[in-house]
Amino acid sequence: MKLSVSTENGRSGESWTEYVINHKEGTIYHHPAHLQVLEAQSGQKLLRLVCRDENDQIRGILPLQYTKGMPHNFGGPLVAKRLSSLPRTPVVGPLADDSDVAAKLINAALNFIYKDPGRLLHIKTYNPELPCNSLSKFLWKDEYITEIPPYPQEIRFGNSKNHSSIKRAVNKAINSGVEFRLADSEKDLKKWYKLFLRLNKYHKNPPRPYKLFKISWDILRPKGMMQLALAEQITNGKKKIIAGLVLYYFNETVTFAYNGSSRKYFDLRPNDFLHWNAIHNAQKEGYKFYDWGNAEEDNAGLAAYKKKWSSKTFPLYQYFYPNPKVIGYNKDKTVIEYNDGSDPGEFTGIKKILWQLIPIRLTPLVGRLVYKYL
């Protein structure tokens, strides 16, 4: 079979969409609608690599985007000057019919790097064996995914003790006047974003810009690919949003993408309440998986929270060319492990102190500045 790779912007739209939908490893992050969100939010066109056969049929795709990288080489490979698949996105590896097609796509991406010294090729994927010896493989994080049984089968979260604990949390929210609903206006989105800012400030994370959520609301929500699930407390007839989840919907999977919640109301367990409702609604709508996203190994609390929902873990890998600074090797010498402290979502040392001094209203500006380079 004769294969050729080209960069296509526009003409492969419908066939690209069909390929992603029908590929078993296709995710919402490969979908053209999500790529459109990234382009609109960043103001930069993506590089869409498409592998076709002699009959002009798509056999594989690889979306990529250039990043500026942090000034003065600050941070490490995750925030360096890169051609990434994709920046500011959890995992978007190449989709391909087979390893030959994947190799063609990767080699085409490498050709762009050869012409641009000082830039890294960066690929994030579930695939532990990408077909390219030039790439350096890094073990990254675990992804947490809960399998949802078909409706109307009861959803059980682990053993009776664990399931009962979650159910008690949900009942506490209900008994405290907390109600579930889906956002239906940008006014809801703006109210939720204030909670998102406060939670990110508490966790010392530069927040994602509001523009990202507004564009997602405008592009993904009308297609049924995004919802903002809200927990509202009803007190004396007045409703107050106390927590919310941004959820993505694609094929068989609902993906928990972002959380914004008020710590003042954490004792009412609004987050447990939201996830419980989101998972049960997903079951009724025919979805099979609830993707919790990933968690760092050293964030035991977050990992434990995701595990309590009977999630299974799937390792994520990062591939680089050329090889960034190596910290150490696994015992079997096949996977490089590293911890370079380059996660843009974390501040350390004096930066933590300075971060606490920044007024909440200025944190979106910091977020915009940081993510401008990532």
Residue 361 belongs to some domain of the structure: no
Q: Tokens standing for 125?
A: 């994927």
> Under a CB-based contact definition with an 8 Å cutoff, are residues 366 and 209 in contact?
no
> Under a CB-based contact definition with an 8 Å cutoff, are residues 269 and 303 in contact?
no
Together in a domain, 90 and 162: no
Return the closest-CA partner of residue 67 out of 50, 53, 79, 57. 79
Together in a domain, 43 and 173: no
The pLDDT of residue 341: 39
Question: Looking at the 3D structure of the chain, how many domains does it have?
Answer: 2
Q: What is the pLDDT of residues 216-258, one digit of tens each?
A: 999 999 999 999 999 999 888 889 999 999 999 999 999 999 9
The pLDDT of residue 170: 98
Residue 298 belongs to some domain of the structure: no
Q: Calculate what percentage of the chain has a pLDDT beyond 90.
A: 72
Together in a domain, 165 and 93: no
Q: What is the pLDDT of residues 163-211, one digit of tens each?
A: 999 999 999 999 999 999 999 999 999 999 999 999 999 888 889 999 9
CATH at residue 153: 3.40.630.30
Q: What is the mean pLDDT of residues 1-6?
A: 92
Together in a domain, 42 and 104: yes
Within 8 A by CB and 6+ apart from 191, the residues are: 241
Token look-up 């843009």 returns 344
Together in a domain, 132 and 162: no
pLDDT band at 351 (very low <50, low <70, confident <90, very high): low
Q: What is the mean pLDDT of residues 45-63?
A: 95
Q: Domain residues for 200?
A: 149-287
Separation CA 42–CA 63 (nearest Å): 15
pLDDT band at 358 (very low <50, low <70, confident <90, very high): confident
Q: Calculate what percentage of the chain has a pLDDT beyond 70.
A: 89
The pLDDT of residue 237: 83
Q: Does residue 213 have a pLDDT over 80? A: yes
Q: What is the pLDDT of residues 104-120, one digit of tens each?
A: 999 999 999 999 988 99
Q: Tokens standing for 206?
A: 């530069």
